[in-house]
Amino acid sequence: MCELLGMSANVPTDIHFSLSGLIPRGGETGPHKDGWGITFYEGIGVFNMLLSDGSYVLAYCSTNLHWITRRAPFGKARLVDSDVEIDFSQHTSPDDVVSVIATQPLTGNEQWQKIRPGEAVLFYYGERDASVF
């Protein structure tokens, strides 16, 4: 299985913080010794998917996908797999909305939501738009 990461936002957003949480999971802190990236996995029906056109992000969960939406008032977030913390209030404006989708929660001090297996969720410019099915 591979690790997934996606982001939907209403403003241009730096994915560096979230990506720095995903990269170590490609063998350093996670079980995926071959790294991370986009892949298709056949054999046991695992098909977690992120599809985006730049405005919308469609997330489909076969096994494990989680999401979080960050908006004002922004606070601090600490990565689970690394000793890294960021204060988003220092890097955002009051109108920013950012949703992050990942295989497992990247931070331990925030409330992530789990997408149910078989569910597809649509995000539009950072906002959760709908459960598609």
Catalytic residue among 2, 49, 80, 122: 2
Instruction: Note the pLDDT tens digit of each residue in 22-40.
Output: 778 766 776 665 555 533 3
Fill in the amino acid letter for 42.
E
- Rounded Cα–Cα distance for residues 34 and 52 (Å): 25
Residue with more model confidence, 60 or 36? 60
pLDDT score of 42 more than 50: no
pTM: 0.72
Active site residue 61: no
